Structure formats: structure tokens, C-alpha cells
A and B are shown apart, each in its own frame.
Chain A
Amino acid sequence: MGEGYHPSYPSRVLRGARLLLPFLLLAAPRMEAASPVARLADEMAAEVLRVAGTRAVELAPAGEGATPGASDWRALLVERLAGRVRLAEQGPRVRVDWAVTDAPGRLVASARLIEEPGGRLLDIVSVSAPLDEGAVPLLPQRPPSARTTVDVLATSRSGLLEGVVLALAWISDERVLAVSRDEAALYRLAGAALVLESRRALPRPLSPVRSPGAIAIASDGAVWTLTSAASSAALLALDDGRLALRSRAEALPWSGSPTGLRFRPGTNLLELPDGKLGPGPLLALEPSGAAAVDGDGELRLAGSEGNPRAGLRVGAAVAALWQGLLAASSPAAPGDADAVLFVAVSDHVATVAETIPLEGAIRALASRVHAEGARLLAAVEEPGGRSRLVLMDLHRRGP
């Protein structure tokens, strides 16, 4: 609460959050007892038993148009009631008309309990269970079909994270730093979840910026971060499992620039002294310095014989993959859909080799490259002002 609050528009947020519910419900029967869905079924069973007493209970089926997986949640509820109450669809009974929804950070189940026959309303009950903020589910997606330049071996998509992720940096093969307007969060990839390991506020005071920008550059297990809202750059490192502030600086240190990197006040534009990438301002800068995106959305490539302009428009996120291959967001206006462009660079000329559509607007890309393989992480903003991470395991095709 307080500084750094970015307004969100509730209906959009709820719509976004609802995307998670089907996954949670579909996975419900396989979830361990302590999962939010299982806890929700426990709570609802207790309420039903409280109202029904010794009477038989009828659980209404999942209604038409119900959330996918709602039948599975009903099965969990049946499991918890079986043996403790008689389940019946005829005769004197308490009928339970239920609905499962999700709110930010919680799953909610509400039910109308009706005496049958007769249809007399006995009670309305509502229970909820908190989603586990510390472990954001990472759900497998169907990888795109075979490609000519890059094979996408696997794709997974996280649940909603708090706030809008503006920059990403891998600090090891399993750990990634996600930078939002006013804080940095360290996540660990653990199987089918992103486990939140630590959070740290960025240097105060914060300036009002309607469309903030951020950059994160990892080096030797630490990350330099700078956002256009924070008052200074911060060097963050892991210290006993928590993010610790190692250093602060007025500007983000940048090789070859005595003044470092700064954001133009009140904007998401990075100021960069004239160099291999040409003069700023920039919308995005690849941490290795190999590429950047200028204020007009044109890709710039380092070492292009004095002319870094690549003649290709992309979006405001870029990450280097292998030699001669970049990933960038698409130049379309931010909206409900975006795409990862795989950009081939040959003789300082850039062309789009592959396009992989993604839902939401890509705000940041970060890559972790190993020989012929790479992991690409995209932070995707949904209309309600919250982010998901999309993880792609890539393999390079051919030379």
C-alpha cells in the first residue's frame, strides 16, 4: 500500500485473474491437501454440514457456462461430504447451488442452501482461500509448431504476479529478477511453479511516471536495476537467500559511458551518450550492448560501421539469443495481443525470421543462452495492469 501504487482497473484485473481459475480447478483432484482449491473445498464442506445438520445433501451440478474444471471442484466437495452426510437427489434434502470465482489473491466459493422439496432458502454461505503468493503456478502451454530458425521445445505461462513487470534479468539458471516500478522480486524456477524468494523496494522517493521504464543488468550474481520512477540505480544481490542492496548510484553503470544510463525524467526513455548504438533516447537496451530499440521503435545494432540503424521496427523489449539472432517484441500498439519476433541479423541487416504470438503486451524480455539452447523469459502485461511471465525453452535450428 502507499507509494508505488499503480492504479488498476478492477474488472480487467478480475478478468485476468479468472484465467488462472480454470487451471487451478482442472488440477484440483491432483492437488495436495493444502492447496488453495482443496482448502476451499474443506471450508465449503464445513459450511454445508453446519447448515444441513443430519439432513441429506444434494450438490447441484456445475452449471451451464461454469468455469472449466468446476466439475472437478465439485468432486472434491463430494469427497469431503461423503461419509459425513447422506448424498441424495430426491426426497427431503438440502440442495447446494454453488459458484466458484476468483478475486485477486483468493479463491471464493459461495452457495445458496435450499430446503427441498419446497425451495425454501435456508442460508447463503461464502468461503475463501488465499492463493499461495509465494508460489505462482507455471502452467505448460502448447508449444508453437515447428519453426525454421528456432524450435520452441516447451512453453509455460505463470499465474498473475503483482504489478507490472518492466524488466527481467536472469541471475542464474534458476533464478530471475523481475523489476516493477518500485520494487524488485526474485523468483526461483521450481518445477511447475515460480517461487518468490525475496522482494526489495527500490530506492525512494518515487516520482510519478504514468508509463515507467526499467532496465536490469545482471553481472556476477548481482543485478543493477534502474526504473524511471526510482530516485537512483540499485545494485541488488542475494544475501542469505534475500535480496540485499549492495550499492546505489545516480545512474546505472554502463561500459564505455562515464555518465552511465539514466531515464529521461517522467518517461520510459533511456538516455545514452553517443556510442556504438548511436545517440539516445532508447526504449530498450540489450544488457550486452549488442542491440537497442530507439525512441521510434527502430532496432539498432552495435558495430554497424557507424550506422547502427537496422532498418527494422520492433517493440520496446529486446534480448540477445545466439550470435546473429535476437528476440524482440512486436511493434504493434500495446493491447490484448503481442508477439515475440525472432530477428536474424546478418551483415548488420535485421530481418524477422519467426513470429510467435503471445496474449498481452510484452514489457520485457530476458534470455539465458547455452550453446544451441536458450531460455527466453517474457513479461507480459494484461489489461488490468498485472503481469505474467512466459517461459520458452528454445533450440537453435541449423547454422
Chain B
Amino acid sequence: MRRAPRSLALVLLAALPLGAALGPRYGGRLSVGVLDLPASLAPADAYGRDASLTLGLVHEALVRVGADGSLAPGLAQRWTSAAEGREWTLWLRGGLRFHDGSPLTSAEAARSILRFLQGPSVLAAAFAESVDGGSAFRAGSAPELAGLSAPGPDRLTLRLRAPRPLPFGPLAAMAAAVTSAEGAGAGPFVPTLHLPGRRLALIAFADHWEGRPYLDSLEALVGASPEALAADFEAGRLDALPGGPGASSLASTLLLVLDASRPPFDRPEAREAVEAALQRMETTRLLPGADPARALLSPALLPTLPAPGPAGPATSLNAEVDLAVERDVPLLVSQRLVALLSELGLRVRVLPSSPSAALTAPASLRLLAWSPQVPEASLALRELTTLANAPAAVLERLSAAEQEPDADRRRAQLHRVEAALVESRLVLSLGIAPVSAALRAGVHGVVVDDAGRIRFENAWTEP
């Protein structure tokens, strides 16, 4: 009587996949296909899917931004304020280390903040404006940052020019990541081999503040083209492929940036004509999973309001324009845009660009798959106003919103900034697009955050 059921149970057991996964497991390695690797692994603004993926593996910032847009702990585990919100002390976690084994203390954190402020990041400019002496330091007219001190190895003090609701949000940017004097990072993976343009190999960092990542190692391999990477993924030579269907988040806005200093877009009616033409974009048909809302920010950052009334009829334009197209923009979208612009009478010359080059490309039009450096509405709008070279009135509204302590009034003001940007027609949204990664069967734990960063620190593989 007993033998038969046990046999049955063994049959059932055999029918289940051997090594069935019970949860995250330590061990294993992943190969990720990318189209590009940054020339340097030093912290910097991470423009584009590949740069944010790779720099995010290596680096860690003092703070993060939480789901509600407020600051969340990173290397700094807590903070306290004094002087009615003008002075903030950030307390570092105990026992932090860099990849090279050296201790991570407030001295390194302070040095990293100075490096950030001297760099080109848009958010560094915003941060400099808010810290005592920040603008002078950034401009090079002051040798030290008056508003920054490290009173102990485990704490930093920042003195602000005025109280703000998100006092040190820019420090969540990749460009503000904390590095050692020798440039070592403190992110979840330790780079062991970096061949720019070819390969980046990394191993798990045992002393990461959240604990060792599950994977033993990870490598990012550069492919010649999206088609070549897709073929490698299909052939099983890659375990993860950014851009493929899989882990996904609506974290990227398809933006068309119009340069108002160049004809014909120096004329508001020309910009209105482009806006009207975009109404026939059919983003969701071209890009399954996209949100066709013409909002500039994803709903995770700022609620999407119903679209305003339809734009007027598209008038004809007769001009020759350059269109810089960022590499991460889906081909169908850029092709459709060129067709719509051509119907307007524009003769379009397409300039394929890398994500970082597309931001500053000398073109009348720039088409970007844009994700914010920090997933918070005011900082994202700060980036967009800079990108669009927005009028001073919009910047003033944004500054007022940044200092508004009441969350509801602040949100309403940010809505107004977004509306003013849309009204200016210097930057137009084609819709909110998913950032995604295809994963081979048995790979779990890969997520995409609201900054469009594909994160592997909780990735694990079935044995």
C-alpha cells in the first residue's frame, strides 16, 4: 500500500522541473548585450539605456528617490535638519567600503560632491544654486564650498541658501555617485575588465550596502547592431537584451526638441504646425505598450492630466531641417516622424546620434528617448527646461515650485511648469515608451526603475 503512493510522489517530483527555483539564489553569471559602453566608468550623467545600465552597476549615490518622489536612503542611511531646514546632516551607514577595499567615509563623500558640482551635469547646476556658496564654487570663483563640511567620518553637513522640500535630491544622480580618491565605486558590482566599445566584465561586490548581489559575475558585451544583438540573444549567447520584450517600465518619454534659434522653428506657427502633425503619430500602434499621452513626464513622476484640446490644423512649411535621432528611439517611430514632417513640406536630413550626442546635436530637431537622471518631477523638469532652452518665465515657475513646501501646491505648480513647456512647443511629447529588457528563461529579478535604468543587483538565475 505504501510503495505505490511513494512511487507516485516520485513521479510527480520528477515531473517538476529539476532545480525549480524557490527564490533568489546566489551564484551564476549573466551576459548582457549592449550597443555601446561608456568610454569611462567615472560617474557622469547617464544618457541612454546602455550608459545608465553600466554606470548603475558600478556606482552608488548617497541617496535615492523613493516611490513617492521623496528622498530614500542610499549610502546615507538617515538625515536630520536644523536651522529651520537650512542645514542638513547626512549620516552614512557604518562599515561602508569601496570596491578597492578602502573605507568610504564622509571625506570621500564630500570630495565626490565637489567633483559633481564641478561637472557638466544639469542637476549639479541646480544643486549649486541651492547650497551656500555653491554657485561661486561651480563658477570657479571660490576655492571651497562654504556650505559643505564633514564634521565626522560618518556625517556630512550641507547648508542651504533657503529651505527646500527636496534639499539634496540632485545627489541621487549617477553623476553624484560617491567614489574613492582613486576612482573606485561602491555599487553592486566591481568592474574587472573594461574594454570600451567591446566588453565590460564585473564581479559581485561582497561589501555592497544592501548585501552581495546574487550573481557571481556579469558582463556587458557590445554588439555591432540591434539585429546582431538579437541574433546573439536568440542563439543563447546573451542572457539579457535591453530593448527586448520582458522586464519593463514606462520610463522613457519620446521627445521632439525644437530649436527656436533656427528657422523655421523660430516662428511659433512653425512649431504649432509640427505639434499638429504629431497628432497623427499613432504611437501605440508603432510601439505596443506605449502610453500615447502627450505628457512630458511619465505618470510615475507626475499624474497625467487629460490632453488639452486638439491642436489647430497643420499648416504647410517649406524648409530644410536636420533631425538628430537618438539611437534608443525605435526605428518605426523615427520613420513615422520623418514621414509626418515631410508631409508638412519639410525636407528632413536624419542624423543618427548616440544618446549623449543627441542632447547637444546642432540640429533644428532632436528626437530622443529621454529618461530623467533622477526620477523626481521637479528635477526631471529642470532637465527638460535646460534641454528645451525654455524661456525665463518657465524657469522662474520651476524655481518657485522647487521651493514650495506644500506637496499639493508644489504638484500643481509642477503641472503648470509642464503645461508651460508644452505651450511653448519647444519640446513635444510623442508618448511615454517602455524601457525593457528581454531575459532568457530562468533569469529573474531584473527590474527597470523610473529613471529608465535596467537594474541587475537583484538578478538571479535558476541553476
Contacts and interface: CB of A to CB of B under 8 A. Distances in A.
19 contacts: A5-B72, A5-B73, A14-B300, A104-B66, A108-B411, A110-B411, A123-B416, A124-B415, A210-B24, A283-B22, A296-B22, A297-B20, A310-B9, A312-B13, A316-B23, A332-B20, A333-B442, A333-B462, A351-B5
B1 A124 contact: no
Given A110-B412, A311-B10, A333-B21, A210 B78 contact: no
Given A9-B447, A10-B66, A99 B305 contact: yes
A3 B213 CA distance: 19
B411 A347 contact: no
Interface stretch (A125-133, A135-143, A252-260): A125-133
Contacts of A11: 249-251, 298, 300, 448-450
A42 B21 CA distance: 49
A118 B209 CA distance: 56
A126 B5 contact: no
Residue picked from B1, B209, B300, most chain A C-beta under 10 Å: B300
A329 B461 CA distance: 20
A127 B408 contact: yes
A2 B211 contact: no
A324 interface: no
B210 A208 contact: yes
Nearest to A298: B13
Interface residues of B, number: 65
A303 interface: no
Contacts of B408: 43, 126-128
A211 interface: yes
B26 to A, nearest CB: 8
B303 interface: yes
Given A9-B449, A312-B13, A333-B444, A208 B306 contact: no
Interface string B290-305: 0000000011100111
A346 interface: yes
Interface of A: 1-3, 5, 7-14, 17, 43, 60, 63, 97-99, 101, 103-106, 108, 110-112, 114, 119, 121, 123-128, 205, 207-211, 266-268, 283, 293, 296-298, 310-313, 315-316, 331-335, 346-352, 383-384
Contacts, number: 185
Contact of B77 (A2, A125, A268): A2
B215 to A, nearest CB: 11
A7 B444 contact: no
Contacts of B82: none
B227 interface: no
A311 B66 CA distance: 43
A121 B308 contact: yes
B249 A12 contact: yes
B284 to A, nearest CB: 11
Contacts of A1: 72-73, 78
A224 to B, nearest CB: 23
Given A13-B67, A108-B303, A211 B24 contact: yes
A106 B23 contact: no
A384 B449 CA distance: 10
B108 to A, nearest CB: 19
Interface in B157-197: none
Return the 9 tightest CB-CB contacts between A and B, nearest first: A333-B21, A2-B78, A208-B211, A13-B67, A311-B9, A210-B211, A126-B412, A10-B67, A126-B411
Nearest to A209: B211
A5 B77 contact: yes
